[in-house]
Chain A
Amino acid sequence: MFDLVFWLPVMAGGALAGASSGLLGTFIVGMRIPFLGICVAHAALAGAVFGSLCGLEGPTVVLAALSGAVLAALVLGLLDPQRTQLDDNVVLSSLFSATMGLAFLGIGLHDRLGRSDNDVRGILWGSLSFCRWRDVRLMLIVGGALLAYVVVFFKELRAILFSRSDAAAAGIRVTIIWTGLLILVAVVLAVNLQTVGGLMIYSLISNPAAAAFQLVRGCRRAMWLSAVFGAASGLGGFLISAATDLPSGPVIVLVSSALLAFATIHRRYAAKPI
């Protein structure tokens, strides 16, 4: 028997993680930096590992993960590509390998010291089935902050999405707006990570946005449709997994991939963008 009271926060968590990741995906996919999600996720993991090594436990490990992710976001935001002469993806891949190295070093130290790494594994793989209203509230708060940021700075974000260097040349305060968005990326991903895990986050960032780009014209429409696709993937994937008794994570990933495949085929054969 499907216990709605138990599963309602799980469904809300899946939908919220999908919506916020989908919204972020518009910018991450649009700027062709999908590595950002995986890079920030590993920075969060490194933060959690070292937080756990320092004796943090339970929900406080999330704070350590958050610190790691925000630190990585600050490094990315404050690096000026004009000065470093490095492509965003080169910076991201370097930071990704460094944070992954740190995370695995910490996991090795865990083993050597004989400490439990259950909290760390929770951050790495997530556990949607254990999502409770407390987690949903936190996801709602950070999702709301992201939404408010996107609404307030929509016109600047649209300019940055088109070209960061062109936006700077046109007198837009790119460093401030971009760093602010990166910090929100870090916070949203760190919070969603413990609920839905790294693999799902990556698919919920990339697939809904890529699908929305296939179907609509205009930045605002693409943003909202991406958030809707993300929520539909999270919720729909969970419902399908519950009905078929399959693991929820992979089903959510496959639903989001199916949405992208449908959008691509629809664009190719059926219609022009709306």
Chain B
Amino acid sequence: MSARAVEIEKLIVHAARRCVLDVDELQISAGEITAIMGLNGAGKTTLLRTCLGLATPTRGVVHVLDRNVPQLHGGSLAQFRRRVGYVPQLLPARSELPLTVREVVAIGRTGRVGLFHPFKKADWRIVDEWIERLGLTLLSDRVFGEISGGEQRKTILARAMAQEPELLLLDEPTANLDLGWRERIVATIQQLHAQTAITILLICHELEVLPSICHHVVLLDQGRILVCGAPEEVFTTERVAAVYGAGLHVTHEGGRHAVVPGGSIHV
């Protein structure tokens, strides 16, 4: 694998006849955590979906894990996607489905195992290993629709990891979670990266969600990259005020970041 996990050049993506993404250049190094941030409708999810071949660009080059994604179709696209773990923003909400947590995690293994091949013991070992590593062992026989939102997020994360991906795409992994679960998910992402050195592309809205080991932040505004760099460089009070509105103050503490309305942080 090259040192670059993602290389994008002159990318234009249209949706409903509107240009939603216009990225001149973006490079993401292998083994790093990169956060994509920006206002609602800035093109964050479209960027992630384009990297996975779920959104088709109007033009441009999207090299992910050494494959030019827009040129992949059918079997080659499926083969590429097996190398990328994806945690979508919206979780399937069919609560009546009787699929257990273990079965949902096993879905991540399905593409890897391939058509006409049954799961082997080694595949189930990997599934159970990720269930254990994400602290889901006691829930593995529970129905997915009956566990809490945070536990469901962890299950989907375990599903993505059971794929043994080279790149992990996380679309708002802490959406709709309370503070406790948000911190647990952030800690899990940090732990995953520490254990596997996997490249992680993460979309989030809150600065507090950025792991302390986040290497880069890409700030999008109306489909264009406004700035790209280390979190401390990107999130200055002036820039946050310019993008999100006046009266916001940014603090950086122990590698973590927070935005508070004016003044200073009181712990």
* A156:B110 contact, CB within 8 angstroms: yes
7 closest cross-chain pairs (CB), A and B? A171-B111, A171-B82, A171-B81, A163-B92, A159-B107, A169-B86, A171-B78
Q: Mark A137-174, 1 if CB is under 8 A from B, else 0.
A: 00000000000000011011011011101111111110
- Contacts A153-B115, A171-B82 given: A218-B106 contact, CB under 8 Å? no
* B118:A155 contact, CB within 8 angstroms: yes
In Å, the complex CA distance between A166 and B169 comes to 13
Q: Which residue of B lies closest to A172 (CB)?
A: B111
Is residue B141 contacting chain A, with contact meaning CB distance below 8 A?
yes
Q: Mark B110-139, 1 if CB is under 8 A from A, else 0.
A: 111101101100000000000000000000
B144 proximity list for chain A (CB < 8 A): 162
Is residue A222 contacting chain B, with contact meaning CB distance below 8 A?
yes
Is residue A266 contacting chain B, with contact meaning CB distance below 8 A?
no
* A213:B98 contact, CB within 8 angstroms: yes
Is residue A219 contacting chain B, with contact meaning CB distance below 8 A?
yes
Is residue B181 contacting chain A, with contact meaning CB distance below 8 A?
no
A32 proximity list for chain B (CB < 8 A): 94
Chain A positions within 8 Å of B, measured between CB atoms, are 29-32, 82, 152-153, 155-156, 158-159, 161-163, 165-173, 210, 212-213, 216-219, 221-222, 273
* B98:A218 contact, CB within 8 angstroms: yes
- 24 chain-A/chain-B pairs, Cβ below 8 angstroms: A30-B96, A31-B94, A155-B106, A158-B106, A158-B107, A159-B110, A162-B104, A165-B54, A166-B107, A167-B107, A167-B110, A168-B54, A168-B81, A169-B54, A169-B81, A170-B81, A170-B86, A171-B80, A171-B81, A172-B78, A173-B75, A216-B98, A218-B100, A273-B98
**Of B52, B75, B100, the contact of A217 (CB 8 Å cutoff):** B100
A168 proximity list for chain B (CB < 8 A): 54, 81
* A158:B99 contact, CB within 8 angstroms: yes
* A222:B98 contact, CB within 8 angstroms: yes
Is residue B88 contacting chain A, with contact meaning CB distance below 8 A?
yes
Chain B positions within 8 Å of A, measured between CB atoms, are 52, 54, 74-75, 78-83, 86, 88, 92, 94, 96-100, 103-104, 106-108, 110-113, 115-116, 118-119, 141-144, 159, 163
A172 proximity list for chain B (CB < 8 A): 78, 110-111
Q: Which residue of A lies closest to B52 (CB)?
A: A169
In Å, the complex CA distance between A152 and B142 comes to 25
B113 proximity list for chain A (CB < 8 A): 155
B92 proximity list for chain A (CB < 8 A): 162-163, 166
In Å, the complex CA distance between A159 and B144 comes to 13
**Of A170, A216, A218, the contact of B108 (CB 8 Å cutoff):** A170
In Å, the complex CA distance between A29 and B97 comes to 9
**Of A165, A213, A216, the contact of B96 (CB 8 Å cutoff):** A213
Q: Which residue of A lies closest to B123 (CB)?
A: A155
* B98:A217 contact, CB within 8 angstroms: yes
Name, among B80, B96, B108, B118, the residue most crowded by chain A CB atoms within 10 Å (CB to CB): B96
Q: Which residue of B lies closest to A210 (CB)?
A: B96
- The smallest beta-carbon distance between B203 and chain A, in angstroms, is 15
A173 proximity list for chain B (CB < 8 A): 74-75, 78, 115
* A162:B81 contact, CB within 8 angstroms: no
* A158:B103 contact, CB within 8 angstroms: yes
B141 proximity list for chain A (CB < 8 A): 217
A152 proximity list for chain B (CB < 8 A): 116
In Å, the complex CA distance between A50 and B100 comes to 46
A169 proximity list for chain B (CB < 8 A): 52, 54, 81, 86, 88
In Å, the complex CA distance between A49 and B12 comes to 49
In Å, the complex CA distance between A159 and B52 comes to 18
In Å, the complex CA distance between A168 and B73 comes to 12
A210 proximity list for chain B (CB < 8 A): 96
Name, among A82, A158, A166, A172, the residue most crowded by chain B CB atoms within 10 Å (CB to CB): A166
A163 proximity list for chain B (CB < 8 A): 92
In Å, the complex CA distance between A216 and B100 comes to 10
